Chains A and B, each alone.
Chain A
Amino acid sequence: MTVNIRVFARLREQMGRSSWNESVSEGTTASQLIDMLVHRESSIRPFARVLRVAINDEWAQGDRELQEGDDVALLIPVSGG
């Protein structure tokens, strides 16, 4: 199945893109997706221990299973305000 991944701010600059589609197998969790991306994308490795995901505009736990068409935001600690 396919999910859409989005990155913002520092991560967007680091990766040189803001969104892309990713094919994942059924049952893949948010944590597994992070592990896979960190393994593949050296540009985000420095951020590995602080990466979190939001699915469909809400914070998600690592054990959350992805669904077809999910909008997955890969986020580092925020700094607004």
Chain B
Amino acid sequence: MKILIDIQEATLSLDTLWKFLAESEGGGIAIFGGTTRRVTGDRVTEQLSYEAHEAMARKEMARLAKLAGERWDVLRIGMIHRTGIVPVSEASVLIGVASAHRGPAFEAARFLIDELKVSVPVWKKEHFADGSTEWQGEDWLR
């Protein structure tokens, strides 16, 4: 199994990920993209910004990809996270899985994004339209 891991400030390229996955010559590719949402509840977001412990985040994403490769019959896995500013509608993360048949691709992609949100050291800050900012994922503080 081949793995592509990256963390970058530049806009995420679906083409690059697709090319990597399609080279597997399997029968199915599942891609999940996490994007900046405009409205959450009654609050309007202008952009998100992301900060990572980059070396660890790369290692942790690679660990998750290897784990998924052990659990599902997949051919290639790509995980790319963006850091810095991510405006509304743009992608902060792309997770792609190629496999011989669609089932493992969907299941492994779901596993990877769920686990990324638990163990990969990246933090998200919301920048609201009213000018205020707020680090996300801090329900435990309240």
Which bracket fits the contact residues of A?
Answer: 20 to 34
Once bound together, how far apart are the Cα atoms of A58 and B56, in whole Å? 6
Task: Take A8-B121, A73-B121 as given contacts and tell me if A80 and B141 are in contact as well, using a CB distance cutoff of 8 Å.
Answer: no
- What total of chain B residues lie within 8 Å of the partner, measured CB to CB? 30
Q: Which residues on the A side are within 8 Å of B25 (C-beta)? A: none
Contact A54/B53 with A81-B34, A81-B93 known, Cβ cut-off 8 Å: yes
B interface SS class: mixed
Q: Which residue on chain B has the smallest CB distance to residue A12?
A: B51
A77 cross-chain contacts in B, Cβ below 8 A: 137-138, 140
B56 adjacent to A80 (CB under 8 Å): no
Q: Which of A57, A75, A80 has most chain B Cβ within 10 Å?
A: A80
Determine the distance from Cα of A12 to Cα of B125 in the docked complex, in whole angstroms.
13
Q: A23 — which chain B residues lie within 8 A by C-beta? A: none
